[in-house]
Structure 1
Amino acid sequence: MGSTTVLFGWPLAVAGVLATALAALAAVWARLGTGRATVTAAVRATVQLAAVSLLIGAIIGSVWLSAAFVLVMVLVAGGTGARRMTRHRSGWWALLPVVLPLPVVAVLVVGGVVPPTGLAIVPTAGILVGGAMTATVLAGRRALDELTTRRGEVEAALSLGLLPRDAAIEVARPTAAQALSPALDQTRTVGLVTLPGAFVGMLLGGASPVQAGAVQLLVLILLLLVETLAVAVVVELVCRGWITRAARPSGPDPARGRR
């Protein structure tokens, strides 16, 4: 009798090693400079997932321990977002957009959409926190880059009487909004081009295609929600000067409005 899940054993390990080696070799052949990073990322993912799998297996029976684990995930995501955006300590404001999925998950649990169990809360929160982190990093970096490269336009807007925040946001917002493109494209093409992880995971777990499709639809819509909120918040933080670069050009800071 066939199994609906991926078999755990040496074939799975061999497939993972071969895929990593091929990815690294392709990066070396194309001179992308990411060959070593590919191997390092794969090794780190293996170690981290092994540790997290054991940890989740131990805490999944307790809602409170699961909630504590979700908070750790948020802290790690916030720290990662901070480092990816800027070397300045102000990057820790990245915690603010990354924490936004938590109220969403709480509403889902209270509303009965997500069962109040660790087995349901941890993966749901993980998907949404990961999406918010990615959107925060992309939008924050693009906003900071725009304020640096188009500094003259911000200064011109300030000279016309715009407030510092308004002058900065007119420059930073359009490019930063492109951080939502991956989520929008995935939602538009789901089922036609891509079959995302939640859908495939539920099918492998034995759910019906209709159940898997309904859950995946909810996940995609929730990702659009939390990523849109994250982009809006991080752009506001950057344009108000709460998140800055470690090294800024001499002269006034357009995000802070120092003249």
Structure 2
Amino acid sequence: MFEFSAMPTLGQMDPSDPNFWMDYLKGMLKPVAALAAVLMAVALSFSQKLKLEWEMIYAIARAFLQLSIIGFVLQFIFTQKNAGWIILAYLFMVSVAGYTAGQRAKHVPRGKYIAGISILTGTAITMFLLVVLNVFPFTPRYIIPVAGMMVGNAMTVTGVTMKKLREDVKIQRNLVETALALGATPRQATLQQVKRSLVIALSPVIDNAKTVGLISLPGAMTGLIMGGASPLEAIQLQIVVMNMLIGASTISSILSTYLCWPSFFTKAYQLEDKVFAD
């Protein structure tokens, strides 16, 4: 089980302590100073007439607000003993991820629900294995960040899978209809399109695992090293992270194909015209 030692942090302090807020405000000086990088990007956008200045400012302001809110929410959850807060936070992440992935595949009927169920199943199974195998303790400080990484990757992969599957079936409609006319089931008729969509969606996750540590240090590993953990401890955790991301993403993407392809066909096993209309 992963257990890391660290120096006392804000997360271990009581917000009612005046020193908590003093240290918090001091800590915010660095994020504010880092705005210099954003101002540089805004200046470059203005000089190149990209007209992205306000979008950049809006994006960074929204990120600042969202992260500030979630920081205080997690601060509260981490101090709670009730496991229900872990489940609640996890379901919230899955709901947002399902909605976002469904938006990417907006032409897929009930895409948001399909994406949500797929993400929930893939990440829940993977998380269950990690807890049962005693890789992580079932505590908010471990489960919520780990679940967030899995849900985020599963969201991206699921959205791409569903969108690509619908696009490929539309492009190769004649081939699919020919297979149906020859007696193939809808699943058999779209087997090649399913495989292609899965390969395209999962390739970035697999490529990232192949090059991890060679091109860049991943976020989890970097965060641990900067937080005081040894590089060897950070590497151990990062290996676990890469394993769980591949597992959760694969389950979620495959399940999404099984759930969305029936909506591509009528009860008579014909392609549904309204699904593939522009």
**Deviation for aligned residue 1:109:** 2.1
User: Following the alignment from structure 1 to structure 2, what is the Cα–Cα distance between the partners of residues 126 and 41?
Assistant: 20
In the TM superposition, residue 11 of structure 1 has moved relative to its aligned partner by 3.7
Mean CA deviation greater in 214-223 or 230-239: 230-239
1:40 alignment counterpart = 58
Matched, 1:174 2:187: no
Give secondary structure in 2 for the equivalent of 1:240.
Answer: helix
**Aligned AA (2:211):** T
Summarize deviations over 1:176-211 as a string: whole Å, max 9, x none.
Answer: 321111111111011111210010011011111111
Give the match for residue 115 of structure 2.
94
Equivalent AA in structure 2 for residue 97 of structure 1: S
Equivalent residue in structure 2 for 1:241, among 263, 267, 275: 263
Q: TM-score, normalised by structure 2?
A: 0.78
Further displaced range: 98-107 or 71-80: 98-107
* 8 Å CA contact 2:264, 2:271 repeated in 1: no
Gaps of 5+ in 2: 1-6, 10-25
Tell me the equivalent position of 1:61.
Answer: 79
Quote the residue 2:272 is aligned against. 253
Distance 1:23 1:102, change over 3 A: farther
Number of residue-to-residue matches in the alignment: 245
Residue identity (%): 29
The Cα offsets for residues 193-241 of structure 1, whole Å up to 9 and x where unpaired, read as: 1210010011011111111001001100110111111121112223222
The answer for unaligned runs of 5 or more in structure 1 is 245-250
CA distance in 1, matches of 2:133, 2:249: 21
Alignment of 1:8 onto 2:27: yes
Q: 2: CA distance between counterparts of 1:210 and 1:114?
A: 17
Partner of 2:17: none
Give the TM-score taking structure 1 as reference length: 0.83
> Which amino acid counterpart does residue 16 of structure 1 have in structure 2?
L
1:65-80 correspondence runs (5 A): 65-80=85-100
Identify the residue that residue 245 of structure 2 maps to in structure 1: 223
- Provide the C-alpha distance between the structure 1 equivalents of 2:49 and 2:255, rounded to a whole number of angstroms: 37
Deviations 1:110-167 (A, max 9, x none): 3321122111111011111111111101111111111122211211211222112211
Is 1:204–2:226 an aligned residue pair? yes
**CA distance in 2 between partners of 1:112 and 1:217 (Å):** 15
For residue 165 of structure 2, what is the aligned residue in structure 1?
143
Q: Which of structures 1 and 2 has the bigger CA Rg?
A: 2
Q: Secondary structure at the match of 2:263?
A: coil
Which residue is 1:164 aligned to?
186
Pick aligned residue for 2:126 from 85, 104, 111: 104
CA contact (8 A) 1:84 1:137 kept: yes
Range moving further from structure 2, 179-188 or 104-113 = 104-113
1:46 aligned partner, one-letter code = F
- Cα RMSD (Å): 3.0
Question: Contact conserved, 1:81 with 1:94, CA < 8 A, in 2?
Answer: yes
**Cα offset for 1:47?**
1.3
